[in-house]
Every structure is written in structure tokens, then in C-alpha cells.
Structure 1
């Protein structure tokens, strides 16, 4: 499973727009619609973090594009360090045409480096007509649209074992306090409440972000994401204190803090849905369902289900997202054909291909809900679409990678340290501010 997804997300696209688009810069039309084989002989190279099942399912989308246009496609899996891989390919004169970028901060870095071509008028028209404005904001730098969010993740879902809930006599909670109470009841029945993937620091940032968005509100969230307020702000200390209520309670944490720090994301899902469950719940994005189904044979909606991350205090239920934005590189050998691919990805028909395969959410409101292959995916997609402009992108993905996206450093490490000892939220906030200030200056 790649990070974030990533990777979060709602939006909408206009009716079935014909893609008889004008390529970037106003040159001759490049169409990805109507089935014309007008790109025969060209190869579009696409780089992205996906591997395994995600890569196979995205290839189905690329194959559908090829069937329409005659273009061949080649996918290059970069691993999580997209910027380093793409940068080296650009320097070596072998730049891909399209990159699927999983972090807002990386998209901004690419644009500031002068690597990106603004999206075509046709793609921007689709975004304006359909996507919630927040998605255009996250795909733009200095009011220029560079990124089309094709795949999204809903990162405000708490997954649970219906059997564990039934055994404990609890129901899906309506508030954060109710969730902790239900957790203690589950613990009394013989299982820990939560499996936490503390070995992967990004999961801890997601815990914090959901609590912070609900407790502090979207304006504070935006300000902290842009480092317009400091991490020593009382709102941060309050959110860390709330998070500490989970981390310090041995009845709530499967195996306690030590075991949580030695559990990676797939392992956290196994502790709930594997053959020997240790916990009743695992918080993470909609992609938990894919792991529960693919690796442990669970039927989504029956053996594995989710409830929305509940509101904290007097706040609203959070909707935190992540996603992968398609961008076109200036130095790609077939950038014009790459732009045609983005025009295709902006259409509901492209999203329907992956939605049918599973493990996918689209930030496109015009993707019919019946395109998704199970009720849980349909419910998650509906939730994201209805959230509209209240969706907030994963905060750590908006930060410089040195702070929000580096293993063993910055926010990832400091929240792991907080999981190890959650007794001093003010001290942790101060350390987060020191790390953030350094990263934002560079």
C-alpha cells in the first residue's frame, strides 16, 4: 500500500465532455474521445507510486485510453520518493510524460522547479464544471492549474469487525468520546479497542489531522497546514492531548505502545481482520477495506465495515483526504499525448474503469455510484462527494517533505515519540514547531 492515498475527496466533473481538446499552448487538437486512433505510434510514459494491485488496476485505465486513441502506454513505478526519481529522470534526459503525484507539497515543488506544463483548456473546463473548488486549489500553484486529481482516498474512516462489535454489544459511535467508551467495552470483552500502525509514522499524522480538523475547525487546519500559525498554538496542544487519551490507555491499544510502534500498516489491518484478531477497530483510510478483502478474504460490509471518524468535542465530523494528481512534464517526449491522457482522465468513463476493478475512489461527482463494486465503496464515495468544499487534504502531504513526509524525521518521528510517551503534549508541540520552522525555511 502506498503512502496516502494516499491517499481523501470529493469533487465533480461535468457531463460527458467530448475530449476533442486543444493541446496545451493552443496547437492542433488532440482528441481522446470518440474512439479515433489519432495518437497511433506514440507512447505515453506515466510515472507514479503505485505497485501491485493498484498498478494493475491503473493499467486497465491506460489500456482503455489506448483503445480509444491508439497510443501505447508505459507505467514506471517510482516507489514513495517520487520527486527524487522524477528529478533524476529529467536530469538524464528521460523524463516521463505524465506523473501521478501523491502529495500537494511535491506538486508545488515540481511547479516551482519549472517542470510542469499548465493543463489544457479542456481539462480546466472539466475541473471548473465539476470538481469542488478545493480540488482546483490543491492542483494549482499561483492560480495556474497543473494537477488533475484522478484518484482519491477517504482518510476519515474507522474500520471495525462486526463480530467484535456484536460480541461486545456496541454500535458504531456518534462521537469521539462514545468511540473511546465503545473501545473500553470491547476491551472488557477480550479484545483491545484499536490496532495502531505506529511503525509507519504517516498513520499517526492521519490520527492527529482528523482530531485537529474536527476540534480546531477548517480555518485553523488551513493555517497550520500553511504554517501560518505555529505548532505551539494551544489548538495543537489540545489535539495532542486528545490523541494522547488513545495512546496512553493500554486497554485501548493492542499490545500497548511498544507493540504499536512495531506494527506497520498491513500488520495493523491483520490485527483486526486476520485469522487471530487482537483488536476490534483500526483507523485509516478507505484502502483498509482493500487489504481486508484482498489479503484476509473479508466480505466488505459483512465481515469488515466502517463508520465515519466521529466528531471531537463540539466540532463537526472531519473529512480528511489524500489523492494522486496527474501532471504533465514539460520535458516529456510526448507531452502533447500526455495532455490528451489527462483530458481522458478527467472524464467519468476513465474513473469507471478503476471503480469497477475496486480499491478506488474518484473526486468526480459524475462517476455513477453504481460504478463501484460494493456497497461500502459506494457509501464512501457518496460521503466524499457530499462533503464538497469541506474536504481538507492530508496536512502532512501539504508540508515540505522534510517535515511531513520523511521516515525517521520531522512529524513522522515526533509523533512516534509521542506514541511512545504521550504525557507531554506541550513538549511535543514545541518539537514539532522547531522541525516545521526549519523545513518551511528551506
Structure 2
């Protein structure tokens, strides 16, 4: 059995989850129509212009940074890299990568031209990069920034064999459901706090003439996120940790229970925009935009995914806090789930410049720049909440920091890439097939277990 990279909390996760979910429930629904602006409402200073970290002069040095980010996410990260260039004199080139990034990096390494730094979205990918001898440990300055600015849990998930390899520059709250306000108002639907209430809200929206859910099933990772929220809330943190480490099998009754629960939505073709066939042809960005275009007659009334949905909402005319609102993923079992994800900076070519960039990304300076641009959360506890451009993001960020170590990291991101992070394979493919045929619970479990066993080397 593989040792889990999951953060092992000390019996407080469920209570913390309830606190965080409660805070989100209170705060996210209270946001008004002025939440799309860039105004710093708390009157704080412009943290992006302050320097809290000392960086070396790197005139004449050049760096390549690889990430799978596209669109606004890539553009905003480039603004952070531009600040690093300004402060050090180095030249930084962003290298667009493809999923799975570990395969992309493998081809670069084989060709003798790996990027200096890569942004890896899975702890499992970090471990693979270390096992293959690609990743280099962080230096003293980067480790110092991490220890000052990050909770122990966020430091630990960037470690392999006790050594620090990753800087979790970007975090995600993956326990959110976004909804079209006009649709809910016209239907008379209210924000649910439990799974049963979610099913009631879905039926209410359906009865009003709008399909309840938009699902980006063409991207298998969205389906794993659905499963993880249901499983964490229903089975509890201990079982979640065990399944994440493959200490229990995917044929376990707890997995059957979670898939049966998911089928209450996935098994109703009229509840999903385009039915299963349509969902499997819908990529994540389109699953968001089709929920917030078309006025009060969009293709769907709700879409599940993390805080980063805001980036895609921004591509429509909808405004976060008025046209688009959000509620915490409802409690399926005792408590609402709190699932997090993130992207870590990992050094592949050890140099003074690469270590300096990792140090910068571990500082509040870098995170504050991107926080101001929106659609981003940082696990860096030294980032002032005033940096976030609206109340929705401020409250999400505050809840993330308040959770400390009491959260669970995305389960599929902890798995070996072959099982948890490869299009058309493993968990992604098994859940896509399950979306297509939600009655085949036993077959789905058997396929998940066979693929997991092979990937974990059991």
C-alpha cells in the first residue's frame, strides 16, 4: 500500500469542516451587487507594491516555467512572473503544458530541455517527479518563506520523504455549487444545506422549465470532484484518508453508497444539460458559461466546481454576487465537506534563479499580485484579505486560512497519475462511464479497483 500524502488531522476535521462550511454559508450568500469591482473595501495598503522578501539580482539569467493554465489564469500568473522579472532582472518564459503535465515533462526531460520550474497540480505528480529524479529540493530561503507563511499542512503536502519539494502557490476550495440567481428566483428555489434539500431544489428548478445541473463531463476531473465531496461527507474523513491511500478497496461498501448517492442526480438524464451524452461532450469552461448565459433560460441552473469558476463566469455578462451566487456543497452525511486542491511550484533545474522564483512564489508578495486580479485563492496566510477584489473571494480566502490543517486534499490528486490524473484512463474514465450508465455501480467499483490496484502497484 502506498503511504498517503493526505493531511492527517487530529480528530478535529469534522468540527472544522462544519465551522468552515457554516462560515461560507453565511458569507457567500450575503454578497451584493458591487462584488465585481476591484475596490479595496477594507482600506488596506497596496500590498503588491510592498517587498517582504529579498531576492537576488539575476541580470542575464533566463527561466522557463511550465503550467497547464490557459486564458485568464495564465494571463494573471504572467503578471506575477513580470513582477519577478522587474525585481531581479531575470527573463521568465511561460511554457504552456498539456495534461497530464507529468507526461509533458517526461518528454521535455527526454529531450534534454526540461523547464526550470513546473506548476504541478497533484501531490502524486510531485512524488513521481521526485521518484524519477527530476525534482530538486527547495533551498533554505524558500523553506524559510514557507515556514513563515504556510500552515504545517500546506507545507507537508509539498514534501516527499521528509524533504520539501513543492510550494503550494495556488489553492482551491472545491466544495462549492454556483447557481443562476434569476433561475432560482423564478423557480422559488432556496439554497440547500443538505443533499436532500439539493434534490428538492433541483426538482423545483426542473419544474420551472430549466434543467437543474450543468456538468463538464468531458473533463474527467470534474467528476472525481463530485465523488470526493459526496464521499468525504458521507463516509467521513478517516475513510476518505484510507481510500486516498488505497488502504481500503474501491469495492468497499462506502464507495457503493457514494456512487448510489451520486446516481440520484447523474441517473436522471433530465437533471443534466444535454443528458449524459451532452455532459460528456461538455468541457469544464462551457459547463460554467452555459449556466450564466441566456438570461433566466440558460441551459442549466446550477454548476458544481471550485472557487475558480469565477474566472469563467467573468467570460459572460453575469456578475458574481448578483447574477451568479454560490453555496457550500451540501452535507450528505453528518457534515458538509471541505475539499481543497492546489498547484505547487517544483524546481526541475536547480539554479540560483529557480530557487529565487520558488522563494518569491512562497512569499505573500507574489500571491497578493494574483489575488488582486481575481479567480484565485492562496493558502499563504500572510496575504491580506483586502487583496481579493470582492467579498465572495475574501470570505473564501478567510475560510481557507481559518481551516488551518483541518481540510482534505483532493483525493484523485493524491493518487498516482495513471489512476487519478490521466484523461481517458483510471478514475477519470471510470466515472465518465458511470455518468453514462449510473446503474452499473458494481461494475464501476470493479473497474476503479482494478485500475487503482495497478497504479498503486498492489
Partner residue, 2:332: 312
Partner residue, 1:296: 316
TM-score (norm: length of structure 1): 0.88
- Pair 1:246-2:246 in alignment: no
| Count of residue pairs the alignment pairs up | 409
Partner residue, 2:35: none
- Pair 1:169-2:188 in alignment: yes
Partner residue, 1:283: 304
State the shift of 1:17 in Å: 8.9
Q: Is the 8 A contact 2:149 2:363 kept in 1?
A: no
State the shift of 1:378 in Å: 1.4
- Pair 1:228-2:244 in alignment: no
- Pair 1:418-2:434 in alignment: yes
State the shift of 1:251 in Å: 4.3
Q: Is the 8 A contact 1:140 1:147 kept in 2?
A: yes
State the shift of 1:18 in Å: 5.0
Which of 380, 404, 424 in structure 1 is aligned with 2:420?
404
Partner residue, 2:40: none
Q: Is the 8 A contact 1:319 1:384 kept in 2?
A: no
2-structure distance, mates of 1:310, 1:259: 25
Query: Measured at CA, do residues 90 and 260 of structure 1 come closer, stay the same or move farther in structure 2, by a change above 3 Å?
Result: closer
Partner residue, 1:180: 199
Partner residue, 2:365: 349
Q: Secondary structure at the match of 1:94?
A: coil
- Pair 1:158-2:177 in alignment: yes
Which of 375, 381, 385 in structure 2 is aligned with 1:359?
375
Q: Is the 8 A contact 2:99 2:422 kept in 1?
A: no
1-structure distance, mates of 2:272, 2:420: 24
Query: Measured at CA, do residues 386 and 50 of structure 1 come closer, stay the same or move farther in structure 2, by a change above 3 Å?
Result: same
Query: Measured at CA, do residues 272 and 136 of structure 1 come closer, stay the same or move farther in structure 2, by a change above 3 Å?
Result: same
State the shift of 1:74 in Å: 1.3
TM-score (norm: length of structure 2): 0.85
Partner residue, 1:101: 120
Q: Is the 8 A contact 1:289 1:304 kept in 2?
A: no
Q: Is the 8 A contact 1:101 1:324 kept in 2?
A: yes
Greater CA drift, 155-164 or 420-429: 420-429
Q: Secondary structure at the match of 2:404?
A: helix
Q: Secondary structure at the match of 1:296?
A: coil
1-structure distance, mates of 2:202, 2:402: 29
Q: Secondary structure at the match of 2:130?
A: helix
Which of 386, 390, 395 in structure 1 is aligned with 2:402?
386
Q: Is the 8 A contact 2:72 2:311 kept in 1?
A: no
Structure 1 segments, 4+ long, off by >4 Å, are none
1-structure distance, mates of 2:353, 2:148: 23
* Cα deviation digits, residues 123-144 of structure 1 (max 9, x gap): 2233233322221221010111
Q: Is the 8 A contact 2:51 2:365 kept in 1?
A: no
1-structure distance, mates of 2:198, 2:436: 22
Which of 137, 144, 151 in structure 2 is aligned with 1:118?
137
- Pair 1:91-2:107 in alignment: no
Q: Secondary structure at the match of 1:159?
A: strand
State the shift of 1:394 in Å: 1.4
2-structure distance, mates of 1:339, 1:113: 20
- Pair 1:268-2:287 in alignment: yes
Q: Is the 8 A contact 1:17 1:347 kept in 2?
A: no
